[in-house]
Amino acid sequence: MLLAELALAGTLVFTPAASIDTAAIVMTTSAGCPAPADSFHAVARGHGFPADGQIVTAPTAAGMSRTSGFDVYFAQTMKDFAADNHTTLTGRYDVSVFCTDGFTGEVFAEFTGALTFTSPTAFVSGAADVPQPAEKTPAEKTPAGKNPTGWIAAGIATVLLSFEAGRRFGRRRP
């Protein structure tokens, strides 16, 4: 399914709305995912990130709602993603949350928003007077999840995130 044919599209609200590159970022979708979707993931596109986008939330069903907006958490800070990509944060980063079929990768909805870095360490949500990229034609748009390399990377990211969560939270004592 091409992104232009999506049955549902919406927006994202970022918390915090303005902050620094080391902030923990949470996005809230403007609606729930449609019934066929059984998972979601998030991707950021912008300066220094991979052409297919940087996976910022690995595929999951945790917290997904079909009836109302839901929270989506970045797996790392933007500073961490920049370090992983050997880049400096600058300009606009378009962020998309995709509601998908976890097995086939078919996309049923996309929620979009943007973070704009006004300096390498500070951002605001929204475009912040940064020119919008040219809209792609439907033929140029690739459905999320149809690139097997992306799903492999997402799987690796999920495993690494699980190890990191275990490392950070496994040592706590009551």
Q: What is the mean pLDDT of residues 137-151?
A: 47
Tokens representing residue 1 in the block: 């399914």
CATH assignment, 3-128+139-169: 2.60.40.10
- What pLDDT score was predicted for residue 9? 82
From the list 27, 40, 144, 29, the residue with the least C-alpha distance to 99 is 40
pLDDT band at 155 (very low <50, low <70, confident <90, very high): low
Give the tens place of pLDDT for each residue, 78-115. 999 999 999 999 999 999 999 999 889 999 999 999 99
pLDDT at 140 > cutoff 80? no
- Is the CB of residue 21 less than 8 Å from the CB of residue 45? no
pLDDT for 126:
80
Q: Up-side HSE of residue 100: CA atoms within 13 Å toward CB?
A: 24
- pTM score: 0.70
Question: Hey, is 84 helix, strand or coil?
Answer: helix
Residue ranges of domains in the chain: 3-128+139-169
pLDDT at 4 over 90: no
Contact assessment for residue 141 and residue 1, using Cβ atoms and an 8 Å cutoff: no
Helices (H), the chain: 78-84, 148-169
Among residues of the chain, what percentage have pLDDT more than 70? 68
What is residue 32's predicted lDDT score, i.e. its pLDDT? 94
